[in-house]
Amino acid sequence: MRLVLIISLILTSIVLSSSHATVYRWVDENGKVHYSDEPRENAETVELNQNTQNSISVRVPAEVDSNTKPAEAVTYRVRIVNPTQEETIRSNQGNFTVVASAAPELPNGYLLALYIDDILYGQPQSSAIFNVTEVNRGEHNLVVKILTQNGKVLASSSVRKIFLHQASILNKPRPTPRTE
């Protein structure tokens, strides 16, 4: 923090020196170094050289040819191909596959992310096939999103509702005794 303060004070003093202001330096009772444009007790004058001044040159952009069209923004679309809307999936382990389709083809660096019930499932990936494992039975909403590497959402599929059924050992049919 001290370094930032000192650098900013030095830069300020450089700007002030261009208007021929005098810069004073002193050390306080705690050993901190201070700079100011006002003289103080025990302050010494800081000599600034001409070569300490910075100059910045700005390039003027070339004129844009009126015949060239600006690059058109690409609109991406993504949809879930499989499973179908309100499909019932029977899997005791809670495993199923989600297949998505994106158009136009995604350039390198763009990722697809699967959300199950508004929670990100796994890590975003470049593949459009998601192998889902160990999901509890019940109704679930699936959404696939196209993301940039910094996480910006470019497109999102519509919500796909599915039903996951798992056989339960508790619902196992029990033999009934015969009475004769």
Structural domains of the chain sorted by starting position, each given as residue range(s) with its CATH number in brackets = 2-50 (no CATH), 77-168 (2.60.40.10)
Query: What are the tens digits of pLDDT across the range 15-49?
Result: 555 555 678 888 888 888 888 888 888 888 877 66
User: Is the link from the previous residue into 39 a cis peptide, with omega within 30 of 0?
Assistant: no
Query: What are the tens digits of pLDDT across the range 69-117?
Result: 555 678 889 999 999 999 999 988 889 999 999 888 888 889 999 999 9
Instruction: Kindly list the distances between the CA atom of residue 102 and the CA atoms of 69, 87, 93, 118, 172, in Å, as whole numbers in the listed order.
Output: 26, 21, 29, 20, 43
The burial class, CB within 10 Å (0-12 / 13-18 / 19+), for 66 is exposed
State residue 176's pLDDT score. Answer: 65
**166's tokens:** 């798992």
Distance (Å, whole) CA 85 – CA 163? 9
Mode of pairing for the β-strands spanning 160-165 and 87-90 = parallel
pTM (2 decimals)? Answer: 0.54
Query: What are the tens digits of pLDDT across the range 106-160?
Result: 888 899 999 999 999 989 998 899 999 989 889 999 999 999 888 888 889 999 9
Distance (Å, whole) CA 135 – CA 83? 15
